Chains A and B, each alone.
Chain A
C-alpha cells in the first residue's frame, strides 16, 4: 500500500540558509499535517492543510511557511535557519477533517541538521 512519502530523508544546512521539505500524502488523502520533533522531544504540531487551504496552525515560527498544492502534496519552507531548527520533521495525511477515528499515517520524516 502507498504510504506518506517525505523528501529528502536527510538534509544538512548552514545557519541562515533556506530549506524546503516535501510531503506526498497517501492518494485521496486531502489533509496534511506537519510536526516537528526535536531531540528527545515529543512531536509538536506545526501546521495543517485541508483541500489546499490552511486549516490549523500550531507553534510554527514566522520564518517557516507551508502550502498544499493542487495534487495535495505539501511543502514546508524554512528560512533563516537556526541551530534550534535541527529536528525530525514529520508529515502525516488523512482523508477529511472530522474526528480522527483511525489516527494519521505518518511519513518516515526528514531529519534536518543545521550547522
Chain B
C-alpha cells in the first residue's frame, strides 16, 4: 500500500528565508507524488508533481521538489518565502488498487511566514 508521511505539522519561517517542507513516501511500486496547497477556506491547488523523468520538478509560485528514491523523500522547497505562501501544504501519492487510482494525502503542514 502507498502512503506519505509529512514531518512537522507546523513550520514557521521568516519572510525571505528558505522554505523546506518534508514528505516521505512508502510505495511498493514507482510512486507518482504530488504537492498541493490549500489557502484558508479554499480548495486544493496542485503545486507540482513527479511521475517519471527528471527528479527535480518545478512548480508554481517558485516551489520545487526533488524526488530521492534512496531516501524515499519528496521534500518541497522554496528559496525565499513570501507572506503569501502562508497556507496548508499536502503531500500526496497515487495509490493503485483494484484497477483504479486515487490520491492518498499526508496529514498536511501548515506554513506560517512572519515579517
Residue in B44, B51, B100, B103 whose CB lies within 8 Å of A55: B100
Interface residues on B, range: 20 to 34
Q: Which residue on B lies nearest to A94, using beta carbons?
A: B101
Question: Is the contact region of chain B dominated by helix, strand, or loop, or is it mixed?
Answer: strand
Q: With the chains together, A97 CA to B34 CA distance in Å?
A: 17
Number of interface residues of A (CB under 8 A): 27
Interface 9-residue window, one of B11-19, B62-70, B78-86, B90-98: B90-98
Chain B positions within 8 Å of A, measured between CB atoms, are: 32, 34, 36, 41-46, 49, 51, 90, 92, 94, 96-108
A contact residues around B51 at 8 Å (CB):
99, 101-102
Task: Assess the B98–A56 pair: CB atoms within 8 A.
Answer: yes
Main secondary structure of the interface of A (DSSP, over half): loop
In the complex, number of A-B residue pairs with CB atoms less than 8 Å apart: 67
Asked if B43 and A108 sit within 8 Å, CB to CB, the answer is: yes
Q: How far is the CB of A5 from chain B (nearest CB, A)?
A: 11
A106 touches B100 (CB 8 A): no
Contact (Cβ within 8 A) B102 A50? no
The answer for the CA separation of A99 and B93 in the assembled complex, in Å, is: 11
A91's nearest neighbour on chain B, judged by CB, is B43
Residues of B within 8 A of A90 (CB): 43-44
